Amino acid sequence: MAIAAESIDRRPRLVRADGPEKVTGTALYTADLRMTGMLAAKFLFAEVAHARITRLDVSGARLVPGVFAVLTAADLPDVRYSAGVADRTLFARDVVRFEGEVVAAVAAVTDEAARRAIDAIIVDYEPLAIVDDPEAARADDAPLVHPHWADYESDPSLVRHGNVAAFSSIARGDVDAGMAQADVVVAGRYVADGSHAAPIEPRAVVARWEGEKVTIWTSSQVPFAARDGVCETLRLPTNRVRVIVPHLGGGFGGKCGFHFEPHVAALARAARRPVKLVFTRREEFIAPDRRRESMIIEITTGVNNDGTIVARRGHVILDNGAYIADAAFFPQLAAMHVAGPYVIPNIEISAELVYTNHQPSGSVRAPTAPQTTWARESHTDEVAAAVGLDPVEFRLLNAVDTAKIGPTGQTYDEIGLIECIRRAADSAGWGRPLPDDEAIGVAIGWWPSFPVASGAYVKLDSDGAGQIITGAQECGTGAVMTLRRLAADELGMQPDDFQIVGQDTAVAPYDVGATGSQTLFNNGRAVVAAAGQVAEQLRNLAADRLEASAADIVLDSGVAHVAGTPDRNVSIIELAAIAARGELLIGHGSGQPPATPEISGTTCVGDQGMAAWVAPQFSCHAVRVKLDRDTGVVRVLEVDAVHDSGTIINHLGAVGQVEGGVMMGVGQALSEGTVYGDGRQRNAALLEYKLQTAADSPTVRTQFVEIATEGAGPRGAKGLAEAPNVATAGAVANAIARLTGERLRRLPMTPERVWEVMG
């Protein structure tokens, strides 16, 4: 992949500390762990979409040689859980609501023995009506996935009824008056299939008890949430549960939250031995409650003949699946993406999160954004065509900009979206002649930065070597590795002088985990604060040694010197040795999260705090594609990705994030989609679920519009990891439409679907 010159960091390249282990194959992942007496875990999954359990007999499983434990719902506390709505139990109780629901679990001496035990379990079902269509599920007479939904504990701000797990709406201005005023009104309906995170490492959990305490090793992006989930469902105090994450082989949001850690911990307690669970690839597809939601998106926009947007109305239906997982805020987030980063004085957008008997939806890289942005940006090109404007000019005319008021009444500080659009169009050669089978499409996107609590310790050992103890989770992006640069800059040292310690709830301070593009944004502030305390201690020590004021001490290049007289210095190593004989050099930080901006004139129903965004990120992607008209096959050739993500701390890592996000977006655009039949996934394997590979990689030219954003992350940084996944599919769609003359209204835009619209 090509890297634009604007993206190259002029400082020495930051070498990832976890790199050597990973490239040499010595890095240990959860599935690699071995312990004396370890047992293998297997689950019995429902394998039906919706049914009542009429018989569950595990006696045969207990007789299989080598079996140490067999568990069902009857063996554990009857605890309902989930974020927003407590609608789920660890094991199915009476009813199964999707094919990947856990009915029973076994721990045995070998995988083969565990499989034999699973096969020996007898379970009989009484079929129940399958709720397969989220749109039809909203009807008053539709079968209910959760007949007793009203009895579940829930967030009081959620608006729920029947199969609608959560409803949100955002309204501002007078949409009816705006539509009446508009010279042109354009409406469109778009349908997006669900998709999967599909990280290369399948889910794995190991649990071992020592007395009344359990240690759990898990492939989780959120170790503290995993710990809290174990405590909640097994009714254990926090001090008896420790969660450690070895190297993590990717997650993309699919390993957020918790689910299977309590099952394995319960098996290990019952068996009195360590227990390990490793999913097969098919299990990885059907069982986790983190699938990208399928969606139906309807958008109507009123626009004047000069191209100015005056009103927008929208409605979104999100397929929640059988349980709410962490999706309670998704309706409002989806509504924000339907509005988009445009100046629109009158909006009325609603969204419904609807129960079905599908696998539960949840956070997968930029949840709700790629689908809604694909629909909105497809619609944007249609609106531009209706008033005879060039798509790029139309976006430049209507996009939010510095000091402008966004669709929900938020006034923006300095932002770079307009510059992103201009740079992407220029770099792609917008308007240049192309072969008949090639075209360029553009799309813009936005994504919030999530301010949450985080913590870090920074200390210097007696030899001057640094340690960063962080609760932040390294999920493969390198964000945690970048913390070394922040600490080094504060202390006048080099990133290689620091070791990262963390991914262990017994050692590190709290962090929400690798979710929401928040690692560097939040934990970075904590590290800067902690390192600042150590820097103050070093200045005081140096001031005594150099007979100067601490305010005049400068930390630079491994020494502390008096400002203006570099020769009056003492090395940080020497100061660390002095401190080791008395007070140690250690600092702690939490980094106060920035406040949420105010909005004006906006009414929100089912408000989940998503109508105003802290440090919003902006992007524009211009994509050149090639179409084989005989087969409908589309190939992405080049992507110009320009992002406003604030100050970029680690350019090489940031470019990698953009390239990875673009490739994930290409997959969502062209090939990745979950196929259902009778409530069950029909393509739950990598052979049928078509991921993009290295052979499909386009040239990606990455640029950053760097604006040090006040009140954001360290040094004015914003989030980045999810934003590159937002606009790609929309840009691909617009390029395809320019080639075919027809608009594809189903995602992914597979060769069959492209071929069909060509007639």
**pLDDT beyond 50 at 8:** no
Instruction: Judge whether 3 lies within some domain.
Output: no
Instruction: Judge whether 170 lies within some domain.
Output: no
**pLDDT beyond 80 at 662:** yes
Residues 697, 733, single domain; the answer is: yes
710-725 core/surface letters (b: 16 or more CB in 10 A; e: else):
eebbbbbbbbbbbbbb
Residues 270, 221, single domain; the answer is: yes
Pick the range with the lowest mean pLDDT from 3-7, 168-172, 180-184, 509-513.
3-7
Structure-token pair, residue 128 = 């129940």
Domain holding 355, by residue range, is 291-451+598-757
**pLDDT beyond 70 at 86:** yes
In this prediction, residue 197 has a pLDDT band, given cuts at 50, 70 and 90, of very high
What is the distance between the alpha carbons of residues 443 and 372, in angstroms, rounded to a whole number? 12
What is the distance between the alpha carbons of residues 61 and 115, in angstroms, rounded to a whole number? 10
One-letter-per-residue 3-state SS of 185-197: EEEEEEEECCEEC
How much is the pLDDT for 509? 95
Q: Return the number of other C-beta atoms located less than 10 Å from residue 484's C-beta.
A: 25
Q: 120: domain CATH number?
A: 3.90.1170.50
Instruction: Judge whether 526 lies within some domain.
Output: yes
Q: How many residues does the chain have?
A: 759
Structure-token pair, residue 737 = 């439409």
**pLDDT beyond 60 at 171:** yes
How much is the pLDDT for 580? 83
- Cα angle: 395, vertex 397, 399; to 5 degrees: 55
The proportion of the chain whose per-residue pLDDT surpasses 90, expressed as a percent, equals 92
CB 726 within 8 A of CB 658: no
Residues 711, 577, single domain; the answer is: no
**pLDDT beyond 90 at 11:** no
Backbone angles phi, psi at 242, to 5 degrees: -120, 130
Residues 204, 94, single domain; the answer is: yes
Q: 528: domain CATH number?
A: 3.30.365.10
CB 742 within 8 A of CB 758: yes
Instruction: Judge whether 69 lies within some domain.
Output: yes
Each residue's pLDDT tens digit, 461-500: 999 999 999 989 888 888 898 999 999 999 999 999 999 9
Residues 275, 346, single domain; the answer is: no
- Over residues 75-103, the mean pLDDT reads 97
Radius of gyration of the chain (CA): 27
Residue where a domain terminates, one of 539, 562, 589: 589
Number of domains in the chain: 3
Residues 420, 461, single domain; the answer is: no
Residues 506, 616, single domain; the answer is: no
- What is the residue-averaged pLDDT of the chain? 95
Each residue's pLDDT tens digit, 342-371: 999 999 999 999 999 999 999 999 999 999
Residues 109, 72, single domain; the answer is: yes
Instruction: Judge whether 646 lies within some domain.
Output: yes
Residues 469, 606, single domain; the answer is: no
Residue type at position 133: D
**pLDDT beyond 50 at 7:** no
How much is the pLDDT for 4? 39
Each residue's pLDDT tens digit, 233-270: 999 999 999 999 999 999 999 999 888 999 999 999 99
Bridge partners (DSSP) listed for residue 121: none
Residues 317, 398, single domain; the answer is: yes
Residues 231, 85, single domain; the answer is: yes
- Over residues 68-84, the mean pLDDT reads 96
- Widest distance between CA atoms in the chain: 84
**pLDDT beyond 90 at 9:** no
What is the distance between the alpha carbons of residues 736 and 15, in angstroms, rounded to a whole number? 39
Helical H segments across 294-329, by residue range: none
How much is the pLDDT for 121? 98
How much is the pLDDT for 269? 98
Residue where a domain terminates, one of 566, 589, 612: 589
**pLDDT beyond 90 at 125:** yes
645-663 core/surface letters (b: 16 or more CB in 10 A; e: else):
bbbbbbbbbbbbbbbbbbb
How much is the pLDDT for 268? 98
Q: Helix, strand or coil for residue 614?
A: strand
**Run of H or E residues at 116:** helix 111-120
How much is the pLDDT for 759? 74
What is the distance between the alpha carbons of residues 100 and 91, in angstroms, rounded to a whole number? 11
Each residue's pLDDT tens digit, 316-346: 999 999 999 999 999 999 999 999 999 999 9
- Chain centroid to CA 167: how far? 22
In this prediction, residue 12 has a pLDDT band, given cuts at 50, 70 and 90, of low
Q: Return the number of other C-beta atoms located less than 10 Å from residue 306's C-beta.
A: 9
Instruction: Judge whether 724 lies within some domain.
Output: yes
Residue 410 Rama label (left phi>0; alpha psi -120 to 50; beta): beta
The proportion of the chain whose per-residue pLDDT surpasses 70, expressed as a percent, equals 98
Residue where a domain terminates, one of 540, 570, 589: 589
- Over residues 89-97, the mean pLDDT reads 98
- Over residues 698-706, the mean pLDDT reads 98
CB 96 within 8 A of CB 58: no
How much is the pLDDT for 16? 79
By C-alpha distance, which of 168, 304, 85 is closest to 610? 168
What is the distance between the alpha carbons of residues 613 and 170, in angstroms, rounded to a whole number? 14
How much is the pLDDT for 1? 33
What is the distance between the alpha carbons of residues 653 and 558, in angstroms, rounded to a whole number? 25
Bridge partners (DSSP) listed for residue 466: 460, 498
By C-alpha distance, which of 176, 177, 161, 64 is closest to 111? 64
β-bridge pairing 102-108 and 39-45: antiparallel
Instruction: Judge whether 409 lies within some domain.
Output: yes
How much is the pLDDT for 99? 98
Each residue's pLDDT tens digit, 680-695: 999 999 999 999 999 9
Alpha carbon distance, N-terminus to C-terminus of the chain: 35
Instruction: Judge whether 177 lies within some domain.
Output: no
Residues 107, 210, single domain; the answer is: yes
Each residue's pLDDT tens digit, 597-618: 999 999 999 999 999 999 999 9
Each residue's pLDDT tens digit, 521-549: 999 999 999 999 999 999 999 999 999 99
**pLDDT beyond 90 at 716:** yes
